[in-house]
Chains A and B, each alone.
Chain A
Amino acid sequence: MQDIKRLQKHPKAECILSEPVWFQWVLIGVAVGFVIIFLIAPLLMVFGQALAKGWGAYWEAIREPDSFKAIQLTLLTAAISVPLNLIFGVVAAWLIAKFDFWGKNFLLTLIDLPFAISPIISGLIFVLLFGMQGLLGPWLSQYNIKIVFAVPGIILATVFVTFPFVARELIPVMQSLGSEEEEAALVLGANGWQTFFKVTLPNIKWGLLYGVILCNARAMGEFGAVSVVSGHIRGQTNTIPLQVEILYNEYNFTAAFAVASLLAFLALVTLIVKHVVEWKSGRHLSGTLH
């Protein structure tokens, strides 16, 4: 210990316990350069191209009827899939964080599965299930129900792709909090729902908020899975990312980037929320430790 104290006071300690200052700046320069090339430039490109012809053209592109319809469909998709996965996430996190049971790790792996599967396969499975050549397709068409290449298929594929997000955010938060507070509430006579809403929910609200925001960003931005199950009918089964693809492939770059900038903006909001949540929950967690 004495030796180390002396070592730290040694004039050359900086050099032995850290890198030379010039070398630190080289490393910082390379790292920042990488971030500028791979992250900042693509982000600036979206807004730069979107506004290349001025705000007038930007608003024009977003208010164009087909793009406007795409925005509406995206909002509808998120409005259905996010609450479904929010309820699932809370229930699954309660189950996994509060109880020990056989097969828990297997259940956790299953929840992670959509992360590991290609979005194209996530779309394909719904075509195989509900398509005309699929398992339920002929039966559904008897009743004139259309699921794939229509709006229900888009919603189903989105639910599939986004279903781990809320659960994944909540499970570690609830595990680290333990069950003592809930047990105290129950012992004092609260019922299960009161315990959840008055004890658990206030403790997990920031993690829950971030999970929902992330789930929502993915629901609105999902491209691969949705592009497989969508019928690509303009103004009917196009979500925002699909509309971006169509506009881009028609060389209508300004309009494509204008519509894309809505999603890029949503991505930035997601990052800001994450930052705020980390700051808030960091304070909150250190508060409960005392």
Chain B
Amino acid sequence: MRKSKNILPGFGPSLGYTVTYISLVLLIPLAMVFLKTFTMSWESFWKTVTDPRVLASYRLSFTASFAGAALNGIFGLLLAWVLVRYRFPGQKIIDALLDLPFAMPTAVAGISLTTLYSANGWFGQHLERIGIKVAYTPLGIVVALTFIGLPFVVRTIQPVLQDLDKEYEEAAASLGASRWQTFSRVIFPALVPSWLTGFTLAFARALGEYGSVVFISGNMPMRTEIAPLLIRTKLEQFDYTGATAIALVMMIISFILLLIINLLQSWNRRRLAQP
């Protein structure tokens, strides 16, 4: 196999080009975050990243991202199920529309969601009447993060559900399992790796999200200020080191999430490879 691959030309040039391009566009700029942080003393770094306002922004980013990813976990599973197992009018259009959050610019989604949920918007006016405020509250952030994370869970579960052998369900049913037992003990366990992958992808995407959130959140320090926005605010105050310190913490969290996603995906592949 290896030998036959070697007759293809271009290994040297394409390796050289790829590595050079990645270094110039990605690695050198990213290294700046580390370089800049190293100019800080440990004490001032620690003081910056544990400042109450910074901690409040992490907490908000984490809880809102988790809530958004959890909503997508529930509805993404439901959507994947409905799209794979049932037939209904408009199905193709719904399936195609699910990629909209990938294609729609975040700023456009942001102003649109804010208008929908503001006091006189289509949804906002009805929610206001029953005492629920969405725009300019943490709830609004959850709505925006649900929107941008929506495709991840559906799109990771869909192919797995499609390939799931129906024989196991039939076996469970013939052994006397109820439909709910078949789902919770046979189908769902097979979907868990991809479900968790989708959840983590949506969560990771939500943590770094900026464009769709800034419009709907109201951006009040300590209350509705997410971590990426705080980096932005520090930059505007020319506090470059402060901004970089928060960025470094967020980048480390992102790398850990990336690692978890890779592990989940290899778990998923092993699961699928089993007979």
Chain A residues within CB distance 8 Å of chain B = 3-4, 7-8, 15-19, 24, 27-28, 30-32, 34-35, 37-43, 45-46, 49, 88, 91-92, 94-95, 98-101, 107, 109-121, 124-129, 131, 133-135, 159-160, 163, 179, 182-183, 186-187, 191-192, 195, 214, 217, 220-224, 227-228, 241-242, 244-245, 248, 253, 256-257, 260, 263-264, 266-268, 270-272, 274-275
Q: How far is the CB of A81 from chain B (nearest CB, A)?
A: 10
A38 to B147 CA separation, bound complex (whole angstroms): 6
Is the pair A223, B211 in contact by a Cβ cutoff of 8 Å?
A: yes
In-complex Cβ contact of A118 among B32, B109, B112, B209 (8 A):
B209
Q: How far is the CB of A75 from chain B (nearest CB, A)?
A: 15
Is the pair A43, B100 in contact by a Cβ cutoff of 8 Å?
A: yes
In-complex Cβ contact of B32 among A110, A129, A191 (8 A):
A129
30 contacts between A and B (CB under 8 A): A3-B174, A17-B173, A31-B94, A39-B100, A40-B97, A41-B123, A43-B104, A45-B115, A88-B18, A100-B2, A100-B5, A107-B22, A118-B207, A121-B33, A125-B32, A127-B240, A128-B33, A195-B9, A221-B105, A221-B106, A221-B108, A228-B232, A244-B111, A245-B215, A260-B105, A263-B105, A263-B108, A266-B103, A267-B104, A271-B100
Is the pair B174, A223 in contact by a Cβ cutoff of 8 Å?
A: no
Q: How far is the CB of B93 from chain A (nearest CB, A)?
A: 9
Interface centre among A118, A133, A214 (most CB of B within 10 A): A118
Give the interface size class of chain B: 35 or more
Is the pair A267, B103 in contact by a Cβ cutoff of 8 Å?
A: yes
Interface centre among A32, A119, A160, A224 (most CB of B within 10 A): A224
Contact with A along B185-205 (1 / 0, CB 8 A): 000000000000000000011
Is the pair B11, A117 in contact by a Cβ cutoff of 8 Å?
A: no
B45 proximal to A (CB < 8 A):
no
Is the pair B174, A7 in contact by a Cβ cutoff of 8 Å?
A: yes
B228 proximal to A (CB < 8 A):
yes
Stretch at the interface among B46-54, B78-86, B157-165: B78-86
B42 proximal to A (CB < 8 A):
no
In-complex Cβ contact of B26 among A28, A38, A160, A266 (8 A):
A160
Q: Which of B4-55 contact A (CB under 8 A)?
A: 4-5, 7-11, 14-15, 17-19, 21-22, 25-30, 32-33, 35-36
A160 to B32 CA separation, bound complex (whole angstroms): 14
A221 to B100 CA separation, bound complex (whole angstroms): 13
In-complex Cβ contact of B33 among A119, A124, A245 (8 A):
A124
B56 proximal to A (CB < 8 A):
no
A272 to B92 CA separation, bound complex (whole angstroms): 12
What are the nearest 6 A-B pairs in CB distance? A221-B105, A118-B208, A224-B210, A192-B9, A223-B211, A267-B103
Residue of B nearest to A47 (CB): B112
- Give the residues in chain A near B122, CB-CB below 8 Å: 41, 45
Is the pair A182, B8 in contact by a Cβ cutoff of 8 Å?
A: yes
- Give the residues in chain A near B240, CB-CB below 8 Å: 127-128, 131, 133-134
Not counting A92-B14, A98-B8, A116-B204, a sample of 4 additional A-B residue pairs whose C-beta atoms are within 8 angstroms of each other reads: A186-B8, A241-B211, A260-B107, A270-B103
A120 touching B32 in the complex, CB below 8 Å, given contacts A92-B14, A221-B108, A264-B104: no
Is the pair B112, A46 in contact by a Cβ cutoff of 8 Å?
A: yes
Q: Which of B91-132 contact A (CB under 8 A)?
A: 94, 96-109, 111-113, 115-116, 122-123
A42 touching B113 in the complex, CB below 8 Å, given contacts A7-B174, A245-B107: yes
Interface centre among B4, B204, B211, B262 (most CB of A within 10 A): B211
A10 to B22 CA separation, bound complex (whole angstroms): 61
